[in-house]
Amino acid sequence: MISGTSQRPVRLGLLGCGTVGGGVVKLLTDNAKYLGMRVGAPLEIARVLVRDEKKERVPELDRKLVTTDPELVLGDDTIDVIVETMGGLEPAREWVERAIENKRSVVTANKALLAAHGPDLVERAHAAGIDLAFEGSVGGGIPIIRTLREAFASDWVRSLTGIVNGTCNFVLTRMNEAGATFDEAVKEAQNKGYAEADPELDVGGHDAAHKLVVLAMLAFGARTDSKSVPTEGIRAIEPIDHRLAKRFGYVIKHLAVGRDAGEQIELRVHPALIAQSTPLANVSGVLNAIALEGAALGPCMLSGRGAGDMPTAVSVVADVLDVARALRSGVPGLMTRGIQMQVRKVVPIDELRSRYFLRFNVENKPGVLARIALALGDAGVTVEQMVQEEAPSGVHVVMTTHQAVEKELRKALVAIAAQTFVVRPTQVIRVV
Amino acid sequence: MISGTSQRPVRLGLLGCGTVGGGVVKLLTDNAKYLGMRVGAPLEIARVLVRDEKKERVPELDRKLVTTDPELVLGDDTIDVIVETMGGLEPAREWVERAIENKRSVVTANKALLAAHGPDLVERAHAAGIDLAFEGSVGGGIPIIRTLREAFASDWVRSLTGIVNGTCNFVLTRMNEAGATFDEAVKEAQNKGYAEADPELDVGGHDAAHKLVVLAMLAFGARTDSKSVPTEGIRAIEPIDHRLAKRFGYVIKHLAVGRDAGEQIELRVHPALIAQSTPLANVSGVLNAIALEGAALGPCMLSGRGAGDMPTAVSVVADVLDVARALRSGVPGLMTRGIQMQVRKVVPIDELRSRYFLRFNVENKPGVLARIALALGDAGVTVEQMVQEEAPSGVHVVMTTHQAVEKELRKALVAIAAQTFVVRPTQVIRVV
């Protein structure tokens, strides 16, 4: 019964048919024969839910399958797998939960949904004995979820460091390479379709925080949510910071960082200086990358297109294949079996130990540097390297520090900010 | 029956317990509980075949299980999965074939075996309805096999470019960064345990060719063997080539290259100049990396430790988990289902179109450059950039060319070699 494709089709109900959903329809159509052989049964698009029935769709889509009535998908007992590419929290959560309740396997690319309800959905899926697959939710076409779930099965992830937001990486790359301002780079990203009209979700770091929560669930077995992740965006980065970072041998990237710190875990999203020689420093433009450090495996990095219709669609269809094959082989639910999650406290950002890049814009007069150094010294912060250069007003005193506790550093910066010689607020960027 | 671990154990027969096999024993022991939950049944090491019973082994190994008699593993009907980490062609081939015949699933990390008999073994496994997993055979801990098999299921691999031999990459890195000679760098690699006493399998490019054949099977569905792969090692690369490559903006790496060329496929292993700005150029030391170009996915790269006991062991144990879970769920054999392979002709290296780095060591007298340029021009080879610098004897005329057909270039080089002004044989390195 298993070999060949004589089995009855696996019927797919698609929720959403935008850029990613359209790509899924295209790939399912183009590769129907091969996928059918791999699954052991044909994959059949049974119904496609959209918001606007009149909107143009990919030519591969059979318009007769399109509906605006969710009941025709969710209420159809002949549908085996729900493929959710609509995005957003509601009604996606309600519909995915209903699908799980009705014992349908689910494939989703919805990072917001998973960041808010991931562990709960995984547990519901496990209890219902169905599969919940979500490779498309993080890193577009990069097979990071699969790698964490399967390849690392006998290893422990010590840390992960990711460039997981293509918009941020594009903006920072253009600022660094073309000397663009933040606003110019964002406009360019919008013109190229890499940034939304309202870019806040991306450049504010929130999208990266969602993805970090999903990664932390698999890498560290952590039940958490994006509200617990200290999150900073890239709005505060100025062209001069890129230039000075380069002078010190660094590149500025927007990073999602996770680390197993024993009882607690470290999770944080912020711009950071990373050494030019590290592999992540060379991940440019809209590319994403995730560097993992396994206890046994050592360093491992995956990179590729982190967004876009086709890369994400490839990930969704790979999930559909897994889920459909498990279903027709009579063994749904293996994907989440044995995955354990527990609430883990996130290290408060105040307690972080890190190195820092500091740029002070101060008056150019004797004694200023001494007073900065004194304030830092009082807080136990020691300077690693320092340069001073003229600013439009006064001078820039720029330095990197040795490891310091963030709380202590902030105390010193508050003390310095109170001084009359400060021309503009001090720039602080962590060094990873 | 599926959930929980109340099922009878999955019994593993290990063939080999050297560095990788020892790592497998350690990981299976350390992660027994978690792996048992994921599989739905405990994993039990039933028997371990070794060549030398007296040799010291990892402390996790129960010495009572050790035997030198292959019959006690291969002839034991209670063993469910054979885990082969002994390496080499024979008797590995014979034993793996026998295991498949007896309907035991097999996990192997043996690239030489797969390069010689991969497609045949995959077909035997498929016919027997059991799984054959081999993540450990290429790229150590890098999940490249899994990625090609599963993540790319709905995509086509247009090309792959890999640094798949850690010894070569270490030697080239040391030559490039520390200015070492080939012999010095090989000695250093041997001292660090990165190279064998006889390094020919690695530095001759043969190991990389084995791995390329395995990758080509999954990426291009190609039935081929390493004899069909034009293969060059790194012995001919001199320190001066690294310095000159750098001057042109390149790095020299030893690459395995595969490309879907329609009817034929391009497969080749050789040192090559790659642009300093490409991600592969920054993969240093013993690290491996494989860059893929998917039709839908676009560029994607995986990097990590390509060898070593623990990284490879992590891959082997990930395979054991997959195979054991499929077995206890009653669905062995899904892994290879639908994977199609056909004999594909490899483009002869003569017909390759490539750019080239050429270093002529010639007498320093008027007219020499003109005669070189003339010979190249006659063969339709045009120069992209050129520098000339003093050599210990005569001068080095160094250039990169635009795209040319290899056969034509070789003709020109034969013509030039016949000239009396040539001091030493010309260095030719392809530019990728």
Looking at the domain assignment, is residue B406 inside a domain?
yes
Q: Which pair of structure tokens corresponds to residue B241?
A: 């080539």
d(CA A392, CA A407): 30
Mean pLDDT of A12-41: 95
Q: Which pair of structure tokens corresponds to residue A323?
A: 């889920």
Measure in Å the smallest separation between the Cα of B197 and chain A Cα atoms: 25
Q: How many CB pairs under 8 A join A and B?
A: 202
278-297 of A, contacting B, C-beta below 8 A: 279, 282-283, 287, 294, 296-297
Q: Indicate the residue of A143, A153, A283 with minimum beta-carbon distance to B318.
A: A153
- The residue segments making up the domain with residue A39 are 10-140+309-342
Looking at the domain assignment, is residue B328 inside a domain?
yes
Q: Indicate the residue of B39, B150, B303 with minimum beta-carbon distance to A301.
A: B303
Q: Say yes or no: B272 and B322 in one domain.
A: no
d(CA B198, CA B207): 13
pLDDT digits (tens, 9 = 90+) for B368-385: 999 999 999 999 999 999
The two most distant CA atoms of chain A are separated, in Å, by 86
pLDDT digits (tens, 9 = 90+) for B40-65: 999 999 999 999 999 999 999 999 99
Q: Say yes or no: A152 and A292 in one domain.
A: yes
With 70 as the cut, is the pLDDT of residue A180 above it?
Answer: yes
> Is residue A91 reached through a cis peptide bond, with omega within 30 degrees of 0 on the bond before it?
yes
Q: Say yes or no: B148 and B285 in one domain.
A: yes
Share of chain A above pLDDT 70, in %: 99
CA distances (Å), origin B369, targets A231, B192, B404, B429: 61, 44, 19, 19
Tell me, yes or no, if A34 comes closer than 8 A to chain B by beta carbon.
Answer: yes
Which DSSP helix (H) or strand (E) runs through B110?
none
pTM of the predicted structure, to 2 decimals: 0.94
**A311 vs B contacts (CB less than 8 Å):** 296-298
171-190 of A, contacting B, C-beta below 8 A: none
Test B279 with A303 for CB contact under 8 angstroms: yes
Q: Which pair of structure tokens corresponds to residue B171?
A: 């030697």
Number of structural domains (chain A) is 3
- CATH number of the domain within which B416 lies: 3.30.70.260
pLDDT of residue B237: 97
Test A329 with B333 for CB contact under 8 angstroms: no
With 50 as the cut, is the pLDDT of residue A5 above it?
Answer: no
Q: Say yes or no: B78 and B48 in one domain.
A: yes
Of A286, A305, A324, the one marking the end of a domain is A305
Looking at the domain assignment, is residue A96 inside a domain?
yes
> Which amino acids of A are annotated catalytic?
211
Looking at the domain assignment, is residue B376 inside a domain?
yes
pLDDT digits (tens, 9 = 90+) for A54-83: 999 999 999 999 999 999 999 999 999 999
Contact between A302 and A280 under an 8 Å Cβ cutoff? The reply is no
Test A154 with B329 for CB contact under 8 angstroms: no
Q: Which pair of structure tokens corresponds to residue B247?
A: 């001057």
Tell me, yes or no, if A337 comes closer than 8 A to chain B by beta carbon.
Answer: yes
Q: Which pair of structure tokens corresponds to residue B116?
A: 């010689």
pLDDT of residue A6: 61
Q: Say yes or no: A127 and A187 in one domain.
A: no
d(CA B263, CA B325): 38
Looking at the domain assignment, is residue B2 inside a domain?
no
**B299 vs A contacts (CB less than 8 Å):** 287, 304-305
Backbone angles phi, psi at B152, to 5 degrees: -90, 15
Q: Say yes or no: A328 and A398 in one domain.
A: no
> Which amino acids of B are annotated catalytic?
211
Looking at the domain assignment, is residue A2 inside a domain?
no
Of A342, A364, A388, the one marking the end of a domain is A342
d(CA A190, CA A351): 37
Test A151 with B318 for CB contact under 8 angstroms: yes
Contact between A157 and A219 under an 8 Å Cβ cutoff? The reply is yes
Test B296 with A311 for CB contact under 8 angstroms: yes
- CATH number of the domain within which A165 lies: 3.30.360.10
Q: Say yes or no: B300 and B314 in one domain.
A: no
Test A297 with B317 for CB contact under 8 angstroms: no
Nearest-Cα residue of chain A relative to residue B329: A331
List, run by run, the mean pLDDT of 10-residue segments along chain B (432 residues): 64 96 96 92 97 93 96 97 96 98 97 95 95 95 94 93 97 96 96 93 97 96 94 97 96 98 95 94 95 95 90 96 93 86 94 97 95 95 95 96 97 96 97 96
Q: Which pair of structure tokens corresponds to residue A413?
A: 């910066």
Pairing state between β B404-405 and B342-343: unpaired
Tell me, yes or no, if A160 comes closer than 8 A to chain B by beta carbon.
Answer: no
Q: Say yes or no: B163 and B186 in one domain.
A: yes
Mean pLDDT of A103-113: 96
Helix and strand counts by DSSP (H, E) for chain B: 14, 18
- CATH number of the domain within which A19 lies: 3.40.50.720
Looking at the domain assignment, is residue B270 inside a domain?
yes
Looking at the domain assignment, is residue A410 inside a domain?
yes
Test B296 with A287 for CB contact under 8 angstroms: no
With 70 as the cut, is the pLDDT of residue A340 above it?
Answer: yes
Of B295, B317, B340, the one marking the end of a domain is B340
Q: Say yes or no: A270 and A369 in one domain.
A: no
pLDDT of residue A309: 86
Q: Say yes or no: A254 and A324 in one domain.
A: no
Q: Say yes or no: A196 and A287 in one domain.
A: yes
More confident residue, B258 or A150: B258
Residue B395's DSSP bridge partners are B362, B390
pLDDT of residue A337: 83
Tell me, yes or no, if A67 comes closer than 8 A to chain B by beta carbon.
Answer: no
Helix and strand counts by DSSP (H, E) for chain A: 14, 18
Produce one character per residue of B280-295: b if its CB has 16 or more CB atoms within 10 Å, e if not: bbbbbebbbbbbbbbe
**A31 vs B contacts (CB less than 8 Å):** 153-154
Please, what is the end-to-end C-alpha distance for chain A in angstroms? 54
Q: Say yes or no: B336 and B406 in one domain.
A: no
